[in-house]
Amino acid sequence: MSQEHLLIERAEGYAVLTLNRPEARNALSPQLLSDLCAAFRALRSERSIRAVVLIGAGSAFCAGLDLKAMGESDAGLNLYDIHGEHDIVAAMASFDRPIIVAVNGVAATGGFELALMGDILIASTQARFADTHARVGLAPGWGLSQKLARIIGPSRAREAHFTGNFISAEQADAWGLVSRLVAPDDLLDECRKVALDIAGCVPDTVRVYKQMVNDGLEMNLGAGLVMERNVMAPVNSRVAGEAIAERRGAVVERGKGQVS
């Protein structure tokens, strides 16, 4: 995979993926999209990696698909061959550990959809979100028409979809689109801290938890509660009481440090 378009850093318990096309606002070229899919598949096989941070180089997170590349090719949208090993939705959905998206700047259209494929969004105060599908004449295919309304509400989502107007960092924070806002210079460090906190938890439980939350979001509350009980019994039966007691002591000590 090309290290030019996608930078991969492996740290203690987590990895950082950096979209590295700052001159194009990290627009997803066919090569970058292919590299990103391959990276998530490769990292899934590395059990030492317990979380991934995804960020863009420069002042933008991701401007979406590279429309310039599409315009220069007779293949148009087919240039991307977005299926199979190039299916970013499948590649990220099948990654069974938390994905932290560090939205450092503009996340537009396909870049907005890419951000929403993550589990935790932490944004810089310079972040902005926009859905410009209607302005460029394309229909979304990576979940934006379904996810955004469920996160910020139908009216706000429709306004974003139908106008192509930007959502500011402050609006995104107020509407619950992101976990919180962070000063630009602190964004990556804050995301690293979250990744380390995740890496300090029981990895099998984190993986099960992620699946439970994602499955539950596709159900009504009653069905979700049944699913939780069904998953809980076999998972908890494999945990020894001694292990729980030992971990609980560590949790108490950690809590003391956080409130001191």
The Cα–Cα gap between 91 and 80 comes to: 15
Condensed to tens digits (0 to 9), the pLDDT of residues 148-164 reads 999 999 999 999 999 99
Domain span holding position 248:
219-259
105 shares a domain with 223:
no
For residue 20, being part of any structural domain is answered with yes
109 shares a domain with 68:
yes
41 shares a domain with 125:
yes
With the C-alpha atoms ordered 203, 16, 124, 27, is the resulting torsion angle positive or negative?
negative
128 shares a domain with 239:
no
User: For residue 55, what are the CA distances in angstroms to 115, 118, 143?
Assistant: 9, 11, 20
For residue 209, being part of any structural domain is answered with no
235 shares a domain with 120:
no
Output the six-digit token pair for 213: 């939350």
Domain boundary among 199, 230, 249: 199
174 shares a domain with 247:
no
For residue 208, being part of any structural domain is answered with no
231 shares a domain with 150:
no
Per-residue pLDDT of the chain (260 residues; tens, 9 = 90+): 445 899 999 999 999 999 999 999 999 998 899 999 999 999 999 999 999 999 999 999 999 988 776 655 555 566 566 777 789 999 999 999 999 999 999 999 999 999 999 999 999 999 999 999 999 898 998 999 999 999 999 999 999 999 999 999 999 999 999 999 999 999 999 999 999 999 999 999 999 999 999 999 999 999 999 999 999 888 887 776 665 555 565 554 555 556 44
26 shares a domain with 120:
yes
For residue 191, being part of any structural domain is answered with yes
For residue 99, being part of any structural domain is answered with yes
Amino acid 1: pLDDT: 46
The Cα–Cα gap between 86 and 81 comes to: 7
Q: What domain count does the chain have?
A: 2
pTM: 0.89
Angle at 197 between CA 106 and CA 201, to 5 degrees: 130
For residue 154, being part of any structural domain is answered with yes
Condensed to tens digits (0 to 9), the pLDDT of residues 70-120 reads 655 555 566 566 777 789 999 999 999 999 999 999 999 999 999 999 999
Output the six-digit token pair for 173: 């924070």
250 shares a domain with 169:
no
193 shares a domain with 146:
yes
CATH assignment of the domain containing 21: 3.90.226.10
